[in-house]
Structure 1
Amino acid sequence: MIWQNFIDQTLQPVNVSDTISEVKTAFEASPFNHLPVFKKEVFKGSIQAGDLIDLEPSSKLSEHKYLIEVFYVEIHKTNLDLIHEFANHQTNLLPILDHDKRYMGVMKLEDVLDLFGESPFVANEGEVIILRKERTKFAFSEVAQLIETLNARVSGMYISQLTQDAVEVTVKVEHQGINEILQTFRRYDYQIASEHPEDLFAEDLKEHSDYLNKYLDI
């Protein structure tokens, strides 16, 4: 499903002419940490609940314009753009504007997470593998090829961490046996950052460690 179908147009925004007391009341009736702010019928930005704590209740929001944050997502953006903005502004509510910067409604974080949870990457069965490799030697095509040559299927893949020297990629794999896939990646100089009960390499290391400990105790 596309996220645009879940835009909420029922949320009542606050107005710059509202008193701080009125805005606080609006937050008390809402589960959100931001609320959209309007001046008459024009979207001006969002106000955060925590910024109101020490303000004079009888003062108007218009007296504290410096607290209004201007962030939003345009209607043509993707799910990933939404998630980026939610994280970037530490909010659970995003204003949505059309191509002409006109307010259309809001997206709730819980709705976006539900949509993400229905994606094949999350919803399909499979094993999640976290791989690390030198940045200069990493290629998505190689990861996919190694998996597919073992008659497994890639459900999804994304870079979960990136440094100057290394790439960490999270891969979801549909397979019949994970051990062969893990050993193949090791032969191609990938580090396995995730833990897997079927990983015989990890079991061998444990056995060797146990043997060494017993030897040292003699």
Structure 2
Amino acid sequence: MTAEQLISDIIIPLRTSDTGEEALGIMNEFYVRHLPIVNQHELLGLLSEDDILDNDAEAAVGGYNLSLQHPFVRTKDHLYDIIRLVADHQLTAIPVVDEKRHYAGLITAEDLLRHFAENGTFREPGGIIVLEMVRQDYSLAQLARIVESENAVILSAHVQTFQESPRIEVTLKVNKQNITNILASFERFDFVIKATFNEVEYFDSLRERYDSFISYLNV
């Protein structure tokens, strides 16, 4: 999945002549706190809600000093690169440019979350297993062999690291809802099972997080 496949054309970029008040109106309408400023096809920068509050809201945004240093992704950038930039800069939207650095569109944080929620991996029935281990013990190949020994496969895997700690959490989604035998196999290999979820619990948790995120955007 690349940036060009996630672009939304619903939100029209700002012009340099637009005022801060007009920008706030668009932000409130689409539940974002960031909007691109575009002149013709050139991306000039990304305006944040804080930039408007730090300047004269009745003035044109073209005269603002922007706090963000041109964060953007290119059309061919991978989904993971997009997520990294969004997280690093705490963005609610990120501009996309083509190889000539012409503005191609916008990706919102809601678009990213919706992509994961609608991804086939999430839709396919299965069970969730969260393992805790130290970094040097992590081997996806070994985890896959254990799961496959119980006639199942890993649909997705996510590794969470912790700052200044050798500990990691590995979240696996497997294609079986009854994961009792898989859990027993992990225990035989001395893996620490931190949590498990069945399909209903998992999607309820995902929906709750999605609703919380939307509520946050609405604030």
- TM-score, scaled to structure 2: 0.77
Q: Where does residue 119 of structure 1 map in the other structure?
A: 119
Q: Where does residue 9 of structure 1 map in the other structure?
A: 9
Q: Deviations over 1:43-82 (max 9, x none)?
A: 1111111332243334443443243541111111122222
Distance between the aligned counterparts of 2:160 and 2:46, measured in 1?
Answer: 30
Q: 1:155 to 1:14 in 2, by over 3 A?
A: same
SS of structure 1 residue aligned to 2:125: coil
- TM-superposed deviation, 1:108: 2.5
SS of structure 2 residue aligned to 1:15: coil
Report the AA paired with residue 121 of structure 1. Answer: T
1:58-73 correspondence runs (5 A): 58-73=58-73
Q: Deviations over 1:130-182 (max 9, x none)?
A: 01122222211100000101111211112123564223111011236322211
Asked if 2 retains the 8 angstrom alpha-carbon contact of 1:120 and 1:155, the reply is no
Q: 1:23 to 1:191 in 2, by over 3 A?
A: same
Asked if 2 retains the 8 angstrom alpha-carbon contact of 1:152 and 1:176, the reply is no
What is the aligned-residue RMSD (CA, Å)?
2.5
Q: Where does residue 211 of structure 1 map in the other structure?
A: none
Distance between the aligned counterparts of 2:59 and 2:52, measured in 1?
Answer: 11
Moved more, 42-51 or 11-20: 11-20
1:29-44 correspondence runs (5 A): 29-39=29-39, 41-44=41-44
Asked if 2 retains the 8 angstrom alpha-carbon contact of 1:86 and 1:93, the reply is yes
Asked if 2 retains the 8 angstrom alpha-carbon contact of 1:133 and 1:189, the reply is no
Report the AA paired with residue 185 of structure 1. Answer: F
Distance between the aligned counterparts of 2:42 and 2:86, measured in 1?
Answer: 22
Distance between the aligned counterparts of 1:154 and 1:5, measured in 2?
Answer: 25
Higher relative CO (CA 8 A, sep ≥ 6), structure 1 or 2?
A: 2
SS of structure 1 residue aligned to 2:142: helix
Q: Deviations over 1:101-126 (max 9, x none)?
A: 21111122222222222323211111
Q: Where does residue 88 of structure 2 map in the other structure?
A: 88
What is the aligned length?
A: 197
Distance between the aligned counterparts of 2:103 and 2:96, measured in 1?
Answer: 6
Asked if 2 retains the 8 angstrom alpha-carbon contact of 1:71 and 1:95, the reply is yes
Distance between the aligned counterparts of 1:22 and 1:125, measured in 2?
Answer: 45
Distance between the aligned counterparts of 1:113 and 1:160, measured in 2?
Answer: 18
Asked if 1 retains the 8 angstrom alpha-carbon contact of 2:47 and 2:66, the reply is no
Asked if 2 retains the 8 angstrom alpha-carbon contact of 1:3 and 1:115, the reply is no
Distance between the aligned counterparts of 1:30 and 1:118, measured in 2?
Answer: 21
Q: Where does residue 206 of structure 1 map in the other structure?
A: none
Q: 1:38 to 1:145 in 2, by over 3 A?
A: same
Q: Where does residue 109 of structure 1 map in the other structure?
A: 109
- Structure 1, unmatched stretches of 5+, are 198-218
Distance between the aligned counterparts of 2:51 and 2:177, measured in 1?
Answer: 53
- Deviant stretches of 4+, over 6 Å: none
Q: 1:3 to 1:51 in 2, by over 3 A?
A: closer
Distance between the aligned counterparts of 2:177 and 2:41, measured in 1?
Answer: 58
1:118-197 correspondence runs (5 A): 118-162=118-162, 164-175=165-176, 177-195=178-196
- Structure 2, unmatched stretches of 5+, are 199-219
Q: 1:68 to 1:37 in 2, by over 3 A?
A: farther
Q: 1:174 to 1:48 in 2, by over 3 A?
A: same
Asked if 1 retains the 8 angstrom alpha-carbon contact of 2:41 and 2:103, the reply is no
